[in-house]
Amino acid sequence: MGFISEFKEFAVKGNAIDLAIGVIIGAAFGKIVSSIVDDLIMPLVGAVSGGFDFSNLFIALKDVPPDVAMTLAEVKKAGIPVFAYGNFLTILLNFIILALVIFVMVKQINRLKKEAPPPAPAATPEDILLLREIRDNLKK
């Protein structure tokens, strides 16, 4: 089997196509979940916490000159090494919220899936019905 024909067989196999579709849908789903977190949930968290922003929490590892504003971006721009724990807290909070949103969405999707009704019992064969009738007549 030549290289081209092997590649063609691999590319059109169901598994490769299913994987490609899964990656595309996963990317689209990721954008939806990111939008839910960034556009819907985080503004609510900010409103509840009074607009507190973790991203500017840091510890400068060298002295900051007085002419540099004490924001993370300005301190980094000045070339001063920082321990940016606030950025980590923001990313951690986003991850927790994202995981919660995905959990709730998957739980709801699973709940909406209709369970297949159990199969109807097979009809009793004619000969069994006849034997039961004979049995019942003999008992009388």
Q: Which residues pair with 82 in a beta bridge?
A: 60
Task: Decide if 59 contacts 70 (C-beta within 8 A).
Answer: no
Closest CA to 33 of 97, 109, 113, 111: 97
pLDDT digits 0-9 by tens, 43-63 = 887 788 776 667 778 888 888
pLDDT band at residue 39, thresholds of 50, 70 and 90? confident
Longest dimension (CA), the chain: 110
Each domain of the chain, given as residue ranges in start order, spans 1-50, 53-115
Predicted pLDDT of residue 117 = 75
Task: Decide if 42 contacts 26 (C-beta within 8 A).
Answer: no
Predicted pLDDT of residue 1 = 66
CA distance 55 to 44: 17
Q: Is the pTM of this model over 0.75?
A: no
